[in-house]
Amino acid sequence: MSEETKNISILEGRKGQVWRKGEGGAFVCDRQSLAGSVTQRACAFCGSRVVLYPIADALHIVHGPIGCAAYNWDIRGALSSGPQMHRNSFSTDVSEKEIIFGGEKKLRAALDELIPELKPKAAFVYSTCIVGLIGDDVDAICRQTSAKYGIPVIPVDSPGFKGTKRLGYQAACDSISKLIGTGDTSKVGPLSINLLGEFNIAGEAWMIREYFEKIGIEVVATMTGDGRVDDIRRAHGAKLNLVQCSGSMTALAKLMQETHGIPFKRVSFFGMEDTAKAIYEAAGFFCDEVVMERAKNLVRAEIGEVLPQLKAYRRKLAGKKAALYVGGAFKALSLVTALRALGMRTVLAGTQTGNADDYAALRDICDPGTIIVDDSNPLELAKFVMEKDVDLFIGGVKERPIAFKLGVAFCDHNHERKIPLAGFAGMLNFAEEVASSVLSPVWKYVPRRSGLGMEGVR
Amino acid sequence: MLDGTTAEIRERQALRINPAKTCQPIGAMYAALGINGCMPHSHGSQGCCAYHRSHLTRHYKEPVAATTSSFTEGASVFGGLANLQQALENIFTIYKPKIVAVHTTCLSEVIGDDIPMIIERARREGKIKPDQLVMHTNTPSFVGSHVTGFSNQCASTIKYFSESSGETKNVVNLFPGWVEPADMREIKRMAKEMGIEFILFPDTSGVLDTGHTGHYEMYPAGGTTLEQIKAMGDSFQTIAMGPLASKAAAEELEKKCNVPSRLLELPIGLSNTDAFVNAMRLAGQVPVPASIEEERSRLIDMMSDMAQYMHDKKVAIFGDPDQVTALTQFLVEMDMKPVIAVTGTPGKAFEAKIKEICAEKCPEVEARAYSDVHFLHQWIKNNPVDLLIGNGFGKFVAKAEGNIPFVRFGFPIMDRVGHRAFSTIGYTGAMRLIEQITNAFFDYRDRNDPDEKIELVL
């Protein structure tokens, strides 16, 4: 460990956000990042954008200077089985003139140029930091444009300064809620669900949908992976909501419960245990013996397929130590369980924006000595990784190079994953992904394992 | 993904589709990373900082540390004074940089935060100690592009720190412009080979292309030191490469310290490298060493070997003005026809320069500043090309047009590793460009030719 890493202190104002199992003390989360920290978090705009953009037949237009549109142009692999409109980047590219005179004219013109040409089913207009400041009335423009073209044109109130991604998720849920309840539900059957907080990264929504179709449960709308406007409009016809990425979509589930009386269940499709649990919960909800029987058969068959292959990975990976730093704490929970299935131990678990309940569950499930951390930064993460001598780091784009610099294997379990990690087959993919990095011979050459740099070369 | 792009081009007034630029602050961040021990600080919402770090990390595959003022709703109303002061205090306490380089964002610009005043006040109130260095640069995201931000950061650094002691030294300042760390290494190598004394500023080699040490270094060893930046005021000449990225800095140094400057195109290709070598020869009053002459002759040898494959090939190119201009020159030198050159960065000078370069070889060239990738794509649909050159987003255009030969060049490239490791500057860099271009042609033929036409010898 370099002197720099060894001696870092934790910002006084952040001490409550680091907790070690066995040492007690209070744990603090869900607060703004301290100004001046190298936070791994993003902003409300980012949160809204990532939640909504998988709706593939809608137009997504970013109202603001070019950067906000440029940085999230197709960075997430949210796949669509049909239209690919969402993978383009549309922006008003606000420049100096609009800062002075306002951007309404430009936004109006942009919508007029795009809607007749692309004929989207709906349009989302994202407000960035400066839109309110330059006095643009985005709501009014959306209302008027909507009337003009006869499609929903929905404002997304997502200026970055509103807060972390969580507040952006909330804004996205508000926007989606304007679509829900506007479609015809007469063809929605009694055994029907919506999948909330599933973004079809690497095609995961397709796998999950298939499970439900196989046991006779209809998936009305996936929000928002491989999403379609018309499906969302009739989502209120479903009898149950399954919420996967709870941080992003619990708000919408609650709203649908209030306005449409649809109950919801929080589930996870990461790892075999959690996937099985999610399928059983949905099947159990309908109190239908046939469905339950099919669910049991499905789970049995899938696990029967995967388990023997998993054993081979377990032999190779048993005893390895993992650190994880992900978006929300609910996913962290699933990962701890999934890693256990591989014989691995989680020694550091952190999230960008976990909430108190999820952290409580995470603290329960972890082994003694595990460090739990909220809204961390590179120096802290590096310190803990070295202290715990981990073999694997699970995180996102900003954590990857840090792990590699420390000589630690890495698995992207964020939106940049390229293979589906959800469901039963996803567990196998996860094992392969972990093994391909953890078992790489390259780690033999890094200083941490080989002793020293060139001195170790003979 | 771009299958929906139509050939019918409509003049757009208000809309950016698939940008060929991004915003100023990321350029300031990149330039600031080229200062040794520097922490770039983004004065705005935390999403800006997160986006820039992620974007740079995806391109360089390196950790990028930067801090943010984490604007909140309150700061967006009352100004970011408190946020910035707290940030500066925290940064020096925890991360201990040699200098903090504050840049603004659209939000703090529109609010009108007076950064020098805030820094001054923090100093007066003892929140920053006398030996803790802070600088600032204004980077409104709604003006210019990411290159403007790079240019502003460089010029501001000089304004803050370069000094003239009255004694002129036999040293040449080399301003590389926004090029890759590998290019900065190559410029240094060539200058050493020439035998001149020099200071390279900024210098991201050793910062964004570091080796594996087993440590996470928040401040890697590379970067132009503050002593060097100060001493630039005593150099007797500046060679500034890339007008858009480097001119402002060169002028600032000329104004402040009376160091005369020579403005060159980026040393990409034969004649631009000749100009660079010649400028170094004149500045240093040194002969061109045999080793450099040999490099030049090897380039010409390769150009002649491959000339038949280059003749009249139609090339579409997009990217940043300095890069595109210099590379277009090289394409003409190789007997190719640059039929369209596009940049997202505003500025009519670009169009004039491209037309001048192409006047003989391809007078019909379509040169567009302040444009986007969507326009380029539509234009190609009407005028098919043999080769596309541009950043990573170009692959969608290449794929939509039947997988036409495509060479990645520029920023960002998020799907390859070569750009940060192998330079495209100088004579040897030009050889690499030839290799990439001919590989693209040959791979295309090998992939698409029927069996009976596959050639072993090319």
> Is pLDDT of B235 > 80?
yes
Which residue has better confidence, B213 or A435?
A: A435
Chain B residues in contact with A325 (beta carbon < 8 A): none
> Is pLDDT of A457 > 60?
no
Q: How far is CA A337 from CA A324, A371, A419, B203, in A?
A: 12, 16, 20, 45
Task: Show which of B108, B135, B161 is a domain's final residue.
Answer: B161
Q: Facing residues of A323 across strands? A: A348, A393
Class of A3-28+318-417 in CATH: alpha beta
Q: Please identify which residue in the block is written with the tokens 């040293």.
A: B171
Of B55, B216, B393, the CB nearest to A405: B216
Q: What pLDDT was estimated at residue B262?
A: 98
Question: Can you list the pairs that A362-368 forms with residues at least 24 positions away whose Cβ atoms lie under 8 Å?
Answer: A362/A329, A362/A332, A362/A333, A362/A336, A363/A19, A363/A21, A363/A27, A365/A333, A365/A336, A365/A337, A366/A21, A366/A336, A367/A21, A368/A21, A368/A22
Nearest-CA distance A173 → chain B (Å): 19
C-alpha B279 chain-centroid distance: 21
Q: Do B4 and A44 touch (CB under 8 A)?
A: no
C-alpha B65 chain-centroid distance: 19
Asked if B300 and B325 touch (Cβ cutoff 8 Å), the reply is no
Give yes or no: residues B316 and B286 share one domain. Answer: no
Most A CBs within 10 Å, among B8, B45, B81, B411, to test the A interface? B45
Q: Return the residue of B nearest to A5 by Cα.
A: B216
Q: What pLDDT was estimated at residue A455?
A: 47
B396 backbone φψ class: left, alpha, beta (φ>0; ψ -120 to 50): alpha
CA atoms B195, B196, B198, B200: torsion sign: negative
Mean per-residue pLDDT, A374-393: 89
Class of A192-300 in CATH: alpha beta
**CB under 8 Å to A61, separation ≥6 — which residues?**
A90, A91, A92, A107, A110, A111, A114, A123, A124, A125, A126
Asked if B423 and B435 touch (Cβ cutoff 8 Å), the reply is no
Asked if B86 and B50 touch (Cβ cutoff 8 Å), the reply is no
Mean pLDDT, chain B, integer? 96
B184 backbone φψ class: left, alpha, beta (φ>0; ψ -120 to 50): alpha
Structure tokens at A402: 């840090």
Q: What pLDDT was estimated at residue A10?
A: 65
Catalytic residue among B48, B100, B102, B106: B106
Give yes or no: residues B231 and B131 share one domain. Answer: no
- Domain A3-28+318-417 and domain A44-177, same fold? Reply is yes
Q: Do B15 and A114 touch (CB under 8 A)?
A: yes
Q: How far is CA B16 from CA A163, B349, B351, B397, B405, in A?
A: 27, 21, 19, 16, 26
Which residue has better confidence, A313 or A332?
A: A313
Q: What pLDDT was estimated at residue A450?
A: 66
Q: What pLDDT was estimated at residue A456?
A: 40
- B407 carries an active-site annotation: no
Cβ contacts below 8 Å, chain A against chain B, sum to 265
pLDDT confidence bin for A342, thresholds 50/70/90: very high
Structure tokens at B12: 């757009």
Alpha-carbon gap, residue A73 to A88, rounded angstroms: 7
Give residues 192 to 211 of A whose Cβ lies within 8 Å of B.
Answer: none
Give yes or no: residues B180 and B157 share one domain. Answer: no
Q: Facing residues of B318 across strands? A: B342
Mean per-residue pLDDT, B395-407: 97
* Residue B372: closest CA among B9, B80, B55: B9
Give residues 136 to 155 of A whose Cβ lies within 8 Å of B.
Answer: none
Q: Please identify which residue in the block is written with the tokens 């953009």.
A: A53
Q: What pLDDT was estimated at residue A9?
A: 59
- B110 carries an active-site annotation: yes
Q: What pLDDT was estimated at residue A164?
A: 85
Of A35, A46, A382, the CB nearest to B83: A35
Give yes or no: residues B145 and B95 share one domain. Answer: yes
Alpha-carbon gap, residue B267 to B273, rounded angstroms: 4
Mean per-residue pLDDT, B245-249: 98
Task: Show which of B266, B290, B314 is a domain's final residue.
Answer: B290
Alpha-carbon gap, residue A18 to A338, rounded angstroms: 23
Burial readout A295-331 (b: 16 or more C-beta within 10 A, e: otherwise):
beebbeebbeebeeebeebeeebeebbbbbbbbbbbb
Of A34, A91, A134, the CB nearest to B16: A91
Q: Return the residue of B nearest to A74 by Cα.
A: B393
Please give the residue range of the domain that contains residue B33. Answer: 24-161
Mean pLDDT, chain A, integer? 90
Task: Show which of B137, B161, B185 is a domain's final residue.
Answer: B161
3-state SS, A60-77, equals EEEECCHHHHHHCCCCCC
Structure tokens at A234: 């009739």
The answer to whether residue B31 sits within a structural domain is yes
This complex has an ipTM of: 0.95
CATH number of A44-177: 3.40.50.1980
Q: Domain-by-domain residue ranges, chain A?
A: 3-28+318-417, 44-177, 192-300
Per-residue DSSP letters for A236-255? GG-SEEEESSHHHHHHHHHH
Structure tokens at B443: 């791979």
Most B CBs within 10 Å, among A10, A39, A161, A446, to test the B interface? A161
Q: Please identify which residue in the block is written with the tokens 């640069």.
A: B137
pLDDT confidence bin for B77, thresholds 50/70/90: confident
The answer to whether residue B295 sits within a structural domain is no
Would you tell me the crossing angle of helices A272-285 and A289-317 to the nearest 10 degrees? 170
> Is pLDDT of A5 > 70?
no
Structure tokens at A78: 């949210």
Q: What pLDDT was estimated at residue A202?
A: 93
**CB under 8 Å to B3, separation ≥6 — which residues?**
A84, B400
The answer to whether residue B200 sits within a structural domain is yes
Structure tokens at B401: 């047009």
Mean per-residue pLDDT, B67-78: 88
pLDDT tens column, B115-164: 999 999 999 999 999 999 999 999 999 999 999 999 999 999 999 999 99
Alpha-carbon gap, residue A36 to B85, rounded angstroms: 9
pLDDT tens column, A182-204: 999 999 999 999 999 999 999 99
The answer to whether residue B54 sits within a structural domain is yes
Q: What pLDDT was estimated at residue A8?
A: 55
Q: Do A133 and B90 touch (CB under 8 A)?
A: no
Type of residue at A420 = P
Count other C-beta atoms under 10 Å from residue B263's C-beta: 16
The answer to whether residue B411 sits within a structural domain is yes
Number of domains chain B is built from = 3
Asked if B50 and A46 touch (Cβ cutoff 8 Å), the reply is yes
pLDDT confidence bin for A12, thresholds 50/70/90: low
Q: How far is CA B49 from CA B112, B207, B312, in A?
A: 19, 18, 44
Q: What pLDDT was estimated at residue B303?
A: 98
> Is pLDDT of B356 > 90?
yes
* Residue B436: closest CA among B297, B294, B309: B309
Which residue has better confidence, B330 or A29?
A: B330
Asked if A421 and A270 touch (Cβ cutoff 8 Å), the reply is yes
Q: Do B142 and A44 touch (CB under 8 A)?
A: no
Alpha-carbon gap, residue B434 to B331, rounded angstroms: 10
Give yes or no: residues B115 and B237 share one domain. Answer: no
Give yes or no: residues B151 and B245 share one domain. Answer: no
Q: Do B218 and A4 touch (CB under 8 A)?
A: yes
Most A CBs within 10 Å, among B9, B33, B67, B94, to test the A interface? B94
The answer to whether residue B385 sits within a structural domain is yes
C-alpha A443 chain-centroid distance: 29
* Residue A288 buriedness (CB in 10 A; 0-12 / 13-18 / 19+): middle
* Residue A146: closest CA among A58, A236, A224: A58
- The phi and psi torsions of B110 (rounded to 5 degrees) equal -70, -40
pLDDT confidence bin for B255, thresholds 50/70/90: very high
Per-residue DSSP letters for B164-175? --S--EEEEEEE
Name which of A291-300, A321-330, B278-287 the model is least confident about.
A321-330
Nearest-CA distance B383 → chain A (Å): 22
Q: What angle do CA B369, B375, B381 make, to 5 degrees?
A: 135
Which residue has better confidence, A455 or A65?
A: A65
A29 touches chain B (CB under 8 A): no
Q: How many CA atoms lie within 13 A of A355 on its CB side?
A: 11
* Residue A120: closest CA among A229, A267, A45: A229
Chain B residues in contact with A4 (beta carbon < 8 A): 215, 217-219
Q: How far is CA B113 from CA A447, B79, B83, B108, B154, in A?
A: 46, 6, 11, 6, 21
| Helix boundaries (H) for B237-393 | 243-257, 270-284, 290-310, 321-333, 348-358, 373-382
Q: What pLDDT was estimated at residue B409?
A: 98
Q: Facing residues of A5 across strands? A: none
pLDDT confidence bin for A258, thresholds 50/70/90: very high
Chain A residues in contact with B377 (beta carbon < 8 A): none
pLDDT tens column, A215-246: 999 999 999 999 999 999 999 999 999 999 77
Of A107, A130, A398, the CB nearest to B107: A130
pLDDT confidence bin for A100, thresholds 50/70/90: very high
Task: Give the gyration radius of chain A's Cα atoms.
Answer: 23
Q: Return the residue of B nearest to A406 by Cα.
A: B214
As a whole number of Å, the end-to-end CA separation of chain A is 23
Give yes or no: residues B30 and B151 share one domain. Answer: yes
As a whole number of Å, the end-to-end CA separation of chain B is 33
Of A37, A132, A161, the CB nearest to B72: A161
A339 backbone φψ class: left, alpha, beta (φ>0; ψ -120 to 50): alpha
Residues across chain B: 458
Asked if A416 and A439 touch (Cβ cutoff 8 Å), the reply is no
A64 touches chain B (CB under 8 A): yes
The answer to whether residue B334 sits within a structural domain is yes
The answer to whether residue B1 sits within a structural domain is no
Q: What pLDDT was estimated at residue A451?
A: 59
- CATH number, position B96: 3.40.50.1980
Q: What pLDDT was estimated at residue A374?
A: 87
